[in-house]
Amino acid sequence: MEGFLWKILLLVGVLSVSGHPHLPHNPLTYDEALRLGVEIYNKKAREDSLYRLLENVPQPEWDPYSESDQELNFTIKETVCPVEEEFSMDECDFKENGLVRQCTGYYFLEERPPVAVLTCDTVVGTAKEEEKGEEEEKDPPKRVKRFKDFFHRIRNGVRDFFRNNHFVFGVNFRF
């Protein structure tokens, strides 16, 4: 009996020294991390429309088995699908002038449970430039133009406050 106990202790010691990694979590693949990032944004952003992955920045250093922090960069765009209903992302087409957001996700896999922090900023350019071009084409009287400009600035300021604000989400997740 005593010999058996020593053999088990020796086996446990050899296995622990041999360097076989023991992961307390399942591997998080790059594609799964992207899907999770878009899903987190759609659940936490409280937007009217769902967003879908537009572009991702390849991360060759992404290690699905790593327990250290990992960074992920991707771009999402507004779709025609409303948030209230359940849709498969493949069913949702991009809105013609939908908002585009540049996102950075940080996955902290050493935490128990793992933590994801997502930061998304609106990409400036497309829709606003078209709107300004349309306004410049019209040539109303000077007083009317100043009055309209004043209210357009107020309207755009309020819209920009709600659209262009910096979204940061932090969640615990299971995978």
List pLDDT tens digits, range 54-78: 999 888 888 888 888 889 999 999 9
pTM (whole model) above 0.85: no
Residue with tokens 């606003």: 128
- 68: burial class by Cβ within 10 Å (0-12, 13-18, 19+)? exposed
Q: How confident is residue 111, by pLDDT bands cut at 50, 70 and 90?
A: confident
User: What pLDDT score was predicted for residue 108?
Assistant: 85
Gap between the Cα atoms of 168 and 117, Å rounded = 7
- 164: burial class by Cβ within 10 Å (0-12, 13-18, 19+)? middle
| % of the chain exceeding 90 in pLDDT | 18
Q: Does the pLDDT of residue 17 top 60, yes or no?
A: no
Residue with tokens 């309207």: 155
Gap between the Cα atoms of 167 and 164, Å rounded = 9
What's the token pair of residue 135? 């306004």
Q: Are 67 and 23 in contact (CB under 8 A)?
A: yes
Gap between the Cα atoms of 83 and 91, Å rounded = 13
